[in-house]
Amino acid sequence: MDPTPSTPLVELRHLSFGYGERLILDDVSLTIPLGKVTALMGASGGGKTTILRLIGGQNRAQKGELRLYGPGGHQDVGAMSQSELYAARRRMGMLFQFGALFADLSVFENVAFPLREHSQLPQALIRDIVLMKLDAVGLRGARDLMPSEVSGGMARRIALARAIALDPELVMYDEPFSGLDPISLGTAARLIRTLNDTMGLTSIFVSHELEQTFSIADHVIILANGRVAAQGTPQEVRQSADPLVTQYVHALPDGPVRFHYPGPSVEDDFGAEAARRSEAWA
């Protein structure tokens, strides 16, 4: 498929998902454009990581469709057989939160792991691929280190090299910027953008970091209360009139998400005089 603005790689259609009686996603429809970098944003617990799990088939929707498109059309991930799901996952790479490297394997062996598990490539070729992927993230020289010997930022980059080891079409990142210093954060953001463009990927990442996210994303989706509150280019999302989106994008302390946790009034707790003083201070 040739990427155009209207070409999806992943599409959610009226999808609902929850745990027991707790609904996480409620009749959600959204599109992940082919060849673009898409950011999933919104308050914690809004269903962002859940969407990644649904795309990967770890969870299955109770209602609606999750379409994965390919040269032959599309398949509903939730209706796939186990063998179809394994084949679909070969098209995906995943960078887990905080990297999730195997502690007892070297940097080299962490990146080699998916190649050894899912291919019959000769060892010489696996070596060359691993070194190329590590070089792409600037860590070819760290091949012999153990995960305990690298920084948090380096661990994310190693995990990214592992995620792209099998040359996937789609790479998903679960909070790739969490806990990083400004230098490592900027490096991670540039890598997501650069690898997406140079390798012809489609990228989805969950983030709470507004500045870097808006600088690299083509498409931004903000989730709130189990639904899509806004989606579009970073500029379109910034200009959204939705009060919750405005509060989130501009980091306002009060709005639809209240600063004060619901409880008794000031008058009930402290009396009428204290309530008047509180209003005067406000």
Kindly provide the b/e burial profile for residues 91-116, where b requires at least 16 CB atoms within 10 angstroms of the residue's own CB. ebbbbbeebebeeeebbbbbbbbbbe
Q: What is the model's pLDDT at position 2?
A: 43
The whole-angstrom separation of Cα 36 and Cα 204 is 8
Give the residue extent of every domain in the chain: 8-281
Using alpha carbons, list the distances in angstroms from residue 49 to 44, 94, 97, 173.
10, 12, 10, 9
List, for residues 161-185, the tens digit of each pLDDT value: 998 888 899 999 988 888 778 888 8
The whole-angstrom separation of Cα 199 and Cα 164 is 9
Q: Fold for 8-281, please state it.
A: Rossmann fold (3.40.50)
**Inter-residue contact 176 to 137 (CB < 8 Å):** no
List, for residues 186-227, the tens digit of each pLDDT value: 888 888 999 899 989 999 999 888 888 999 999 999 998 888
List, for residues 9-45, the tens digit of each pLDDT value: 999 999 999 988 788 899 999 999 999 999 999 877 7
Least confident of 51-60, 201-210, 240-249: 240-249
Q: What is the model's pLDDT at position 5?
A: 47
